[in-house]
Structure 1
């Protein structure tokens, strides 16, 4: 299966393997919230680890732009799948750790930003190219990771944030060699898994309640602008350019 859930040693692992770049269509996005809830509500799990398969080219390429191009009527389903995925991660009963390698793009940012801890390989980078894809969204979750002006610079330029910079600014807990990412992530989760599940559940609820803003509500606000942008002719031009040659359109 392209996305799997296994529970072992109190660690619930959700693994993405959707070739070629873990860019998920609307149906796939709609399936992830249920997996997260299943993982986090299982009494045998004390922590959730979300990662890509070791053979995957990167953690997550975001949404399937080609589906959006071919089926614009699915944009609202896709939006809802994104929203419910990130909300499920943020509201999971137990801590959620993301182990990311190579590219973390669009929806990948949402999952990282909704999580509790991010571990990353030394080849990782973060990007919100929405402004070049005729879309919006993602800043709400990137704002849980990085300072305001860094978020805006990345958003307006569609540029990338190297893992070293994300680490410097406090978004990433630990950078590890690419070959060691899974082992290091499992070891980190093993420390959490050794704690009382009850204590972890209470701690997660308490920490979420202490946050100064509602990330889920903020993302829902963003999605209204996503739909507005998607209906504009410039959005069509941006998607045409991406599907044609993978480059940003010129305006």
Structure 2
């Protein structure tokens, strides 16, 4: 269990297996950038597939850690930022294959990726407003239109995979039991191409983007820190850990 990486047929699979919900603590987030960057630099790898075992793709950050150790927010912020940046800056294409919940930091991983394959039970959510935090909208904005992002952020609501597909964020929606096979098949098409061509294409496509997602996320993180210093932030985390619900204000 933990974060594992396996390479086969020029495809590297980075697999999350952190029970119970793949919600990562600050140490885990800080370990991910090196895993992603070193894998992308491996000359035997032409495509990276990020997927997960367990109940869902990624539950974001470990709220229990932040409840007990709010002073670790700067370490967590840095781990998030470096992880998402490593995915976007990876020399080769990165594909995320997601199932069930894609929450908080899971949005950052998907938003930084080049392509998303989703199981039919997947949904995307940024519940930060209800967790006493901020962040994630910069990467969700790579996936969805502005007003959809704002509606999701203000309400903390869920965006089903089919809706994300309709809006162009998801490449394809597949039955849950076919997710791994379909994602590997998609990655195999990429992996069969020239690594040099893929590296050049990735750099070119990143340079063509009209906005700097990394700078945007850093802007957001300033507000994350500001929120964490407010008493409402601790109240939100306490309520979520104790009851699983959003606090009332």
Question: What TM bracket, shorter-length normalisation?
Answer: over 0.9
- Which residue matches 1:42? 42
- Which residue matches 1:226? 224
Cα offset, 1:39, TM superposition: 1.0
- Which residue matches 2:248? 250
- Which residue matches 2:188? 190
The answer for unaligned runs of 5 or more in structure 2 is none
- Which residue matches 2:5? 5
TM-score (norm 2): 0.99
Indicate which of 96, 121, 139 corresponds to 2:94: 96
- Which residue matches 1:19? 19
Cα offset, 1:245, TM superposition: 0.6
- Which residue matches 1:210? 208
Between the aligned partners of 2:157 and 2:246, the Cα distance in structure 1 is 11
- Which residue matches 1:156? 154
Cα offset, 1:38, TM superposition: 1.3
1:125-183 CA-to-partner distances (Å, cap 9, x unmatched) read 00000000000000000000000000000000000001110000000000000000000
- Which residue matches 1:199? 197
TM-score (norm 1): 0.99
Between the aligned partners of 1:205 and 1:52, the Cα distance in structure 2 is 27
Cα offset, 1:212, TM superposition: 0.2
Between the aligned partners of 1:124 and 1:5, the Cα distance in structure 2 is 23
The answer for unaligned runs of 5 or more in structure 1 is none
1:28-82 CA-to-partner distances (Å, cap 9, x unmatched) read 00000011011100000000000002xx100000000000011111110000000
Cα offset, 1:95, TM superposition: 0.2
Between the aligned partners of 1:70 and 1:238, the Cα distance in structure 2 is 13
- In the alignment of these two chains, the number of paired residues is 249
Cα offset, 1:24, TM superposition: 0.1
Between the aligned partners of 2:162 and 2:105, the Cα distance in structure 1 is 21
